[in-house]
Amino acid sequence: MILLPIHLSKDFSPIVAKGQKISVGEIIAQKKDISKDDIIHLGDFGISPQSLKSSLKKNLGDKVQIGDSVAVKKKIFGGKKILSSVNGTISKIDEQNCDLYIKVESVVEVKPLISPVEGIVEICNNEQIVIKTAKNAISVKDALGKDAIGQLLYIKTLPLGLNESIEGKIIANEILDKVSLYKALGLGAIGIIAVELKELDFIEIQERDINAAIMLIDKEEFKKLEKINGKKVLCDVKGKAILIL
């Protein structure tokens, strides 16, 4: 049995508990609800508390889109429409201050964190979930891209180790610079594992929509890779783990 730590980013919270038995693919953490409200100050448009109810075009809980009319300032001839500048849901109507709250809809879909192995939750807090499992696995700090299964190729020297032989393989190098990373991907590597990425960050990589697994791990965890060089591994991006098959 080994202890597999799964690190949580600050915007995720666990939904499992210590001692809980979990299976492969089970959701163990999800993104916190940190959405903000957009506030429309209807009083700025001349709407008073007395006329608020008759001026509103949307009710509590209604969905709104950008450009939707949420209220109308009535005049003798016609009226002035007050439009939403966001997509979201009417979350609060403050009648006293004539404020309309819209809970903004997130434009980025964030997938929940799933367990890459079956086992028992040994430690569970806001920083990590540690799973006691019989599966051989290596913990990953951060990951993006797509899952990859292939032979692990531990490369000590760059760029000499980057050639046609890495096609279809998952390569590991402790410190990888921008040129070497994109060269490796261009030569057909399906996975990259490193302790540090120099001259670039995950946001830049994510914007390129790379069809490979990119993983960052701790230095102590990285030392384990040399011992399994040549073995078949699974880079589990969602579960943030490297499984030895």
Instruction: Tell me which residue range forms the domain holding 154.
Output: 136-245
CATH code at position 119: 2.40.50.100
Specify whether 4 is located in the same domain as 60.
no
pLDDT at residue 77, as a whole number: 66
The per-residue pLDDT of the chain, averaged, comes to: 87
CATH code at position 186: 3.50.30.10
Specify whether 232 is located in the same domain as 243.
yes
Q: SS in 3 state form for the chain?
A: CEEEEEECCCCEEECCCCCCEECCCCEEEEECCCCCEEEEEHHHHCCCCCCHHHHECCCCCCEECCCCEEEEEECCCCEEEEECCCCEEEEEEECCCCEEEEEECCCCCCCCEECCCCEEEEEECCCEEEEEECCCEEECCEEEECCEEEEEEECCCCCCCCCHHHCCCEEECCEEEHHHHHHHHHCCCCEEEECEEECCCHHHHHHCCCCCEEEECCHHHHHHHHHCCCCEEEEECCCCEEEEC
pLDDT at residue 44, as a whole number: 92
Total-model pTM: 0.57
Half-sphere exposure of residue 188: CA atoms within 13 angstroms, side-chain side:
9
Domain count across the chain:
3
Specify whether 175 is located in the same domain as 150.
yes
Specify whether 64 is located in the same domain as 116.
no
Specify whether 54 is located in the same domain as 116.
no
Specify whether 169 is located in the same domain as 212.
yes
pLDDT at residue 2, as a whole number: 77
Per-residue pLDDT 10s for the chain (245 aa) are 778 888 888 878 899 999 999 998 899 998 876 567 899 999 999 999 999 999 999 999 999 999 999 999 887 666 789 999 989 899 999 999 999 999 887 655 567 888 888 999 999 999 899 998 887 888 888 888 889 999 999 887 766 567 888 899 999 999 888 888 888 889 999 999 999 988 777 677 777 778 899 999 999 989 889 889 999 999 988 888 898 88
Specify whether 145 is located in the same domain as 74.
no
pLDDT at residue 114, as a whole number: 87
CATH code at position 81: 2.40.50
Residues 126 and 21: their CA atoms lie apart, in Å, by 19
Specify whether 121 is located in the same domain as 144.
no
Q: How confident is the model over 173-228, as pLDDT tens digits? A: 998 888 888 888 899 999 999 999 887 776 777 777 788 999 999 999 898 898 89
Residue 214's Cβ-count burial label (10 Å; 0-12, 13-18, 19+) is buried
Specify whether 218 is located in the same domain as 178.
yes
